[in-house]
Amino acid sequence: QSVLTQPPSASGTPGQRVTISCSGNTSNIGSNTVHWYQQFPGTAPKVFIYSNNKRPSGVPDRFSGSKSGTSASLAISGLQSEDEADYFCATWDGNLNGPVFGGGTKLTVL
Partner 1 sequence: QITLKESGPTLVKPTQTLTLTCTFSGFSLSADGFNVAWIRQPPGKALEWLALISWDDDKHYSPSLKNRLTITKDTSKSQVVLTMTNIDPVDTATYYCARGLDDDSFDVWGQGTMVAVSA
| Short-list 68, 70, 76, 60, CA closest to 18 | 76
Please list, in sequence order, all residues whose beta carbon lies within 8 angstroms of the beta carbon of residue 101, skipping any fewer than 6 positions away.
Answer: 2, 3, 4, 88, 89, 90
Q: How far apart are CA 96 and CA 99, in angstroms?
A: 8
| 102 contacts partner 1 (rule: CB under 8 A) | yes
Candidate ranges 18-26, 45-53, 59-67, 68-76; the one touching partner 1 (CB under 8 A) = 45-53
| 100 contacts partner 1 (rule: CB under 8 A) | yes
First to last CA, the chain: 28
CB 105 within 8 A of CB 22: no
Q: How far is the CB of 57 from partner 1 (least distance, A)?
A: 11
| 51 contacts partner 1 (rule: CB under 8 A) | yes
Candidate ranges 15-23, 60-68, 73-81, 88-96; the one touching partner 1 (CB under 8 A) = 88-96
| 65 contacts partner 1 (rule: CB under 8 A) | no
Q: How far is the CB of 1 from partner 1 (least distance, A)?
A: 9
| 53 contacts partner 1 (rule: CB under 8 A) | no
